[in-house]
Amino acid sequence: MDGTNIVENIPQREPKKEEQPKKEEQQNKSKKKSISFWLAILFGALLLLSIGVNVVLSIVVTAKMLETPDSPISSIGNEKFVQGDKNSKNKILLISVNGIILEQAQDSLFFNKKSIIETIKDNLGKAEEAIVLSVNSPGGGITECDEIHHEIMKFKEKKQIPIVVSMQDLAASGGYYISAPAQKIFAQPTTLTGSIGVIMEFTNIEGLFKKIGLEGVTIKSGKLKDIGSPTRDMTKEEDELLNKMVQEMSQRFFKVVRDGRTKITDEQFKIISDARIFTAQQAKDAGLVDEIGYLDDAFNSAIDLAGIKDARLIKFKQNITFFDLLSETSKNLNPQSKLEEHIETIIPTSPRLMYIWRE
């Protein structure tokens, strides 16, 4: 008998009945893992797509916001026609000041955002025939308002071209401070203006501390070092000292108004100096504004004062870089930082003198 026949006659081993389900189970597990893997890839791709779309939308929305006149002051950029004769070679520059006037320069690794002072200097440097200053502001910091006033006065001496103010909804306190040097001031029928004076605000939380069992501890080099501290009441000496500062800065404001509005009588000034707010008609009666009218009235007045027959009113759109958009988008995606910024504007962490009207 040869070897071949021996191999053929050996009975073949049949697979056990338990092995077949195990193989099928392993195959099913492998298929499930494969499906889970591809589903994870799909959901990951969709998530990344969603994030990308949201970022793009945020940037687009931010760009639109930056193109509107909602920022404190419009920036130098591309020329944009507003109204008038499109074919005229004469240009009257529209500069818009909106919102609370506070220093907002920002430096970062990639870009430098100009402050309100730097921006207005750039705008003034672009003026040719005349300027229409559109003001919609309750005022702001005394230093910022005074610096803008200073730049306008320097510009008047250097270029000697007309500046006409067009007051919008609100042009009070610091909003009026920067308007005072204009040759002519227009207020809309619904404008609120005035509030000629200074304010200093801070919050006293001593009572709250006592309620919750906290006590402020201050180590200071002099008795007046923590003047205006929120954790205790002011002394009589501190109150008198701060009042003197407020009165001194108020006198500076009064001089700005007197210098800019030379026709105001002593009787009118007595009414103005109590820092009250005025309607447009009341402000005209008090000598704070010349005419009640709209932006087009201010524009036509600027044409007349410039001694030209026609003109076009132009403004400069803001040049927005990628980093500007990225910065503003990150702010919009971080509501806490925006809230802190608003709180600091309303309730400053440190007392400061302000040319601002508080409702």
Q: What confidence tens digit (pLDDT) does each residue in 286-345 have?
A: 999 999 999 999 999 999 999 999 999 999 876 655 555 555 555 555 555 555 555 555
The mean pLDDT value for 93-102 works out to 93
Q: What is the reported pLDDT for 74?
A: 44
Confidence of residue 106 (pLDDT cuts 50, 70, 90): low
CA torsion 182-187-191-195 (nearest 10°) is 40
Q: What is the reported pLDDT for 6?
A: 47
Q: In Å, what is the CA distance from 325 to each residue of 56, 106, 329, 353?
A: 10, 14, 6, 33
Give 177's DSSP letter: H
pLDDT, tens only, 31-43: 666 667 777 787 7
> Has residue 24 got a pLDDT over 80?
no
Q: Annotated active-site positions, please?
A: 173, 225
3.20.20.10, 3.40.50.300, 3.90.226.10, 1.10.760.10: CATH of 69-197+264-337: 3.90.226.10
Q: What is the reported pLDDT for 110?
A: 47
Residue closest to 232 by CA, chosen among 215, 244, 249: 215
Give 135's DSSP letter: E
HSE value, Cβ hemisphere, 13 Å, CA-based, for 136? 17
Query: Domain spans of the chain?
Result: 69-197+264-337
Residue closest to 58 by CA, chosen among 327, 337, 320: 327
Give percent of the chain above pLDDT 70. Answer: 70
Give the other-Cβ count within 10 Å of 351's Cβ.
15
Beta bridge partners of 246: none
Dihedral pair phi/psi, residue 52, rounded to 5°? -60, -45
> Has residue 75 got a pLDDT over 50?
no
Higher pLDDT, 150 or 64: 150
